[in-house]
Structure formats: structure tokens, C-alpha cells
Homo-oligomer: A and B are copies of this chain.
Amino acid sequence: MAGTESGRRHTRDDVARAALRILDDDGLPELTMRRLAAALDLQPSALYWHFPNKQSLLADLADRIVAQPAPPRTGRDASHTHGAAAALRDALLAYRDGAEVVSSTLALGLGSTTAHDRLTAAIVADGYDADLAARAATVLLHFVIGHVSHEQQRMQYDSLGVVVPAAGLSPQNGGDTADEFAFGVELFVGGLERLRRAPSNLPGGTASPLAE
């Protein structure tokens, strides 16, 4: 009874929170302007007083999902980078289709730079210079979003009892998705560490000195 709708007129924050609720309850495809308006007892056109269009609403949701305070992580993380990557994954997993919302917002060049900034800061805290960290953070961010997006798609297939025949990207060897995530982050951190000893070997020279 004492829900999100109580007084009379709504604020931009109300709209965003109602949208987050629909997202989490029923998923991104169900989050239409018309359904959101109905949840707020509003005409669809009223939403356009609060947000210029649907994409900017989604960008706002993406910011909220990413900005979410990180729950205290169990155990010491192996590095700041590991911790920041895991915290970002947790944030994306906290809302249904969270990764997709953030991904599509990023793909349109919208949304804040919070996620990228935090990963960059963590890499810097692990001892790399700001320039390198910023570029590496972009790489890590692509992996994290891609991974969690795939993870969440799998969750909703599982909840529907769908048997996926031989999907190319599913964990192949009985490892669960958290293990696969840790593996990806470890690969990334390993690559960073290798750069620490041999700072420039991109063009020219043998790129794989350890091979054979």
C-alpha cells in the first residue's frame, strides 16, 4: 500500500525509480514508456516532461546501476583491479538486464564515465601510470560488460527451463560463471604485469618471446 506512488505529482527521481523497478521485476523488453506511465498513473506524454526521450531515461538508469554502493566484498581481493572488476560485476548483476542497459547506453555514447573511472583508479592504485591505466580500463570494461551481459542472458534462459543445445559462449567445462569471470580478469591482470617488465613491444620485435 505505502508504495512508490503516494503524493500527487512526480519528480524525475520517482520516474527513474519506477523504471528501475519494472526493469528488475520484468526485464528490459517490458520497460516501455507506456507501461512506465501506467505504473505511475500517468499519461505516457507526461514522462517527456521529466526525460527528453527514452534513451536518456535508460542512460540515467545505467548511471544508477553503476553508481550503486558496493556491498562489502568477502575476503581480500588479490589486487585493486580484481576488486574493482568484481564490484562492477556485482553492480551489473544487482538489476535484471543491468549489463544490457549499461552496454546499450555506452554503445550510444551516453551515460557517465563512473565505471571507466573506477577501473582506471584501481589500475593506478595497483601501480600503473594514469595513461596506461585509462586505456587498459577500456579493455577491461569491454570484457566485464560482455561477460555479465552473457551471464544474465543465461540466467533468464535457465529460469525459463530452456535447454540451450551447444551455445558457443557458455562455460564449456563445468566451470561456473564466477570462475569464468575470475579467469578473464586474471588474464587481463597478467597482461598488465607483463607490460610492467617490457613496457613497449607492440610494433616490431618478437611479440611472443616465451613461445617455443
Which parts of A123-146 form the interface with B (CB within 8 Å)? 126-127, 131, 134-136, 138-139, 141-143, 145-146
Q: Nearest B residue to A139 by beta-carbon distance?
A: B184
Judged by DSSP, the binding face of A is helix
Query: Which of B168, B191, B211 interacts with A191 by CB under 8 Å?
Result: B191
Q: Nearest B residue to A198 by beta-carbon distance?
A: B190
Q: In the complex, which of the residues A103, A115, A127, A146 has the most CB atoms of chain B within 10 Å of its own CB atom?
A: A146
The answer to whether B207 touches A150, judged by C-beta atoms less than 8 angstroms apart, is no
- Chain B residues, CB < 8 A from A138: 147, 169, 180, 184
A43 interface hit (Cβ, 8 Å) = no
Bound: A157/B108 CA distance, A: 9
The answer to whether A193 touches B193, judged by C-beta atoms less than 8 angstroms apart, is no
For the complex formed by this chain, how many copies does it contain in all?
Answer: 2
A197 interface hit (Cβ, 8 Å) = yes
Nearest-CB distance from A119 to chain B (Å)?
10
The answer to whether B146 touches A116, judged by C-beta atoms less than 8 angstroms apart, is no
A202 interface hit (Cβ, 8 Å) = yes
The answer to whether A188 touches B186, judged by C-beta atoms less than 8 angstroms apart, is no
Contact size class for A? 35 or more
Query: Which of B126, B153, B188 interacts with A211 by CB under 8 Å?
Result: B126
Query: Which of B131, B145, B180 interacts with A146 by CB under 8 Å?
Result: B145
- Chain B residues, CB < 8 A from A194: 190-191, 193-194
- Chain B residues, CB < 8 A from A117: 168
The answer to whether B187 touches A191, judged by C-beta atoms less than 8 angstroms apart, is yes
The answer to whether A208 touches B147, judged by C-beta atoms less than 8 angstroms apart, is no
- Chain B residues, CB < 8 A from A173: 131, 134-135
